């Protein structure tokens, strides 16, 4: 898929993007005239796409660090069920390239995945949920599954391990060419620190080159450090991610963690696609609303019974669908824009 040793630059885009959007992004990528790069499109919580330029050396630096952490060898077999236009899937092929490992590439099917001879894999939390819902046992060959792409609930992780699935929570981002931490421990090729407001910043061999925009290539790093929109704490080589800046809002002077409310919603909601949003309010700063694609009265009742009074759902918006990224990550700002415009 990628010519890792060549000068060619690869542009990897979601084939489901509208054709005009694909053509625009490809035009911007070509105009950058970058060599030996991999360029992907990533979306923030707003849903707006931006091109991330990663040198092949940076991608391989990330891959080498993951291989080191997993003690990966040529005897391993990776299973790739993530999109290769995302760093989650791309990283698998980079790791396999360095070790000479085989890659099984397949569309997501829990039963088929459990029947493979894979030893290593990367999944998102929803796929771990699918494995448990199907009451599947892991293949005897499996050594570890990296689980990232969004918050991995501790209860879900515990239930997966109790069923024999060796799941390792990871945190990563496109700007670091994939994985940053495994089980909250920073990988060997990166340094981390906290910036003002608790924002996490990283420096190291796997940092991206910059964003490709209409104005050209923009490098947001300062002295080699990239400051993320993720909030957390750094304790030596341990990095704890609490969420994104947009996941914390004030309601009547109280700080509310929307990621925690998301987990409660997941617990009480199984029959309808729904999401929590914080809508601006002149008196309280924000109030909690629910967007749902179907009837949600029971969901609201069960949710409100488990949260503090100021965290209760005050209004329900009926929507056709909930906007999510290619990995299923909620695009909360885009959803707020839809229901308030």
Over residues 100-116, the pLDDT tens digits come to 999 999 999 999 999 99
Looking at per-residue pLDDT, the higher value among 253 and 181 belongs to 181
* pLDDT score for 317: 97
Residues 53-77: what's their mean pLDDT? 98
Residues 43-57: what's their mean pLDDT? 77
pLDDT digits (tens, 9 = 90+) for 214-229: 899 999 999 999 999 8
Residues 305-325: what's their mean pLDDT? 93
73 touches 99 (CB < 8 A): yes
pLDDT at 147 over 90: yes
Binned at pLDDT 50, 70 and 90, residue 50 comes out as confident
Residues 159-168: what's their mean pLDDT? 97
**Are 221 and 269 found together in one domain?**
no
Residues 173-180: what's their mean pLDDT? 96
**Are 55 and 191 found together in one domain?**
yes
* pLDDT score for 282: 81
Binned at pLDDT 50, 70 and 90, residue 80 comes out as very high
Binned at pLDDT 50, 70 and 90, residue 45 comes out as very low
Binned at pLDDT 50, 70 and 90, residue 151 comes out as confident
pLDDT at 248 over 90: no
Select from 216, 242, 268 the last residue of a domain: 242
Looking at per-residue pLDDT, the higher value among 164 and 263 belongs to 164
**Are 271 and 218 found together in one domain?**
no
Domain count, the chain: 2
Radius of gyration of the chain (CA): 20
Select from 242, 264, 286 the last residue of a domain: 242
Q: How far is CA 210 from CA 5, 161, 216, 226, in A?
A: 21, 38, 10, 10
Select from 242, 261, 293 the last residue of a domain: 242
CATH number of the domain to which 173 belongs: 3.40.50.12780
* pLDDT score for 38: 98
* pLDDT score for 46: 45
Residues 42-51: what's their mean pLDDT? 65
List CB contacts of 300: < 8 A, sequence separation 6 or more: 290, 313, 316
| Full-model pTM | 0.80
Looking at per-residue pLDDT, the higher value among 6 and 61 belongs to 61
Distance, in Å, from the CA atom of 239 to the CA atom of 181, rounded to the nearest integer, reads 7
* pLDDT score for 249: 83
**Are 258 and 237 found together in one domain?**
no
Binned at pLDDT 50, 70 and 90, residue 43 comes out as low
Looking at per-residue pLDDT, the higher value among 207 and 310 belongs to 207
4 is a domain residue: no
What is the token pair recorded at 41?
A: 């499109």
pLDDT at 194 over 50: yes
* 215: containing domain: 10-242
């Amino acid at each position: 898929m990628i010519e890792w040793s060549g000068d060619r630059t690869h542009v990897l885009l979601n084939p489901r993007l509208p054709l005009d959007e694909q053509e625009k992004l490809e035009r911007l990528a070509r105009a950058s005239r970058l060599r030996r790069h991999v360029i992907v499109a990533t979306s923030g919580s707003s849903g707006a796409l931006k091109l991330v330029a990663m040198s092949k050396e940076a991608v391989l630096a990330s891959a080498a660090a993951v291989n080191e952490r997993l003690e990966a060898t040529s005897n391993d077999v990776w299973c790739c069920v993530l999109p290769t236009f995302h760093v989650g899937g791309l990283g698998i092929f980079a790791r396999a390239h360095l070790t000479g490992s085989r890659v099984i590439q397949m569309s997501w099917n829990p039963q088929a995945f459990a029947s493979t001879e894979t030893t290593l894999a990367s999944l998102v939390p929803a796929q771990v949920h699918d494995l448990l819902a199907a009451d599947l046992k892991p293949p005897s060959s499996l050594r570890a599954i990296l689980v990232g792409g969004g918050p991995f609930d501790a209860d879900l992780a515990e239930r997966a391990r109790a069923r024999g699935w060796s799941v390792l929570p990871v945190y990563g981002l496109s700007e670091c060419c994939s994985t940053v931490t495994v089980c909250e421990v920073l990988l060997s090729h990166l340094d981390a620190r906290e910036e003002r407001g608790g924002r996490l910043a990283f420096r190291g061999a796997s940092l991206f080159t910059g964003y490709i925009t209409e104005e050209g290539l923009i490098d947001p790093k300062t002295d080699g450090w990239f400051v993320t929109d993720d909030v957390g704490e750094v304790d030596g080589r341990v990095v704890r991610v609490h969420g994104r800046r947009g996941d914390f809002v004030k309601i009547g002077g109280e700080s509310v963690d929307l990621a925690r409310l998301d987990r409660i919603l997941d617990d009480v909601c199984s029959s309808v696609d729904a999401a929590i949003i914080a809508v601006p309010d002149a008196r309280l700063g924000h109030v909690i609303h629910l967007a749902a694609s179907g009837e949600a009265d029971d969901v609201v009742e069960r949710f409100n019974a488990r949260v503090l009074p100021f965290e209760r759902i005050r209004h329900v918006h009926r929507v056709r669908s909930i906007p999510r990224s290619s990995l299923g990550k909620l695009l909360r700002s885009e959803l707020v824009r839809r229901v308030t415009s």
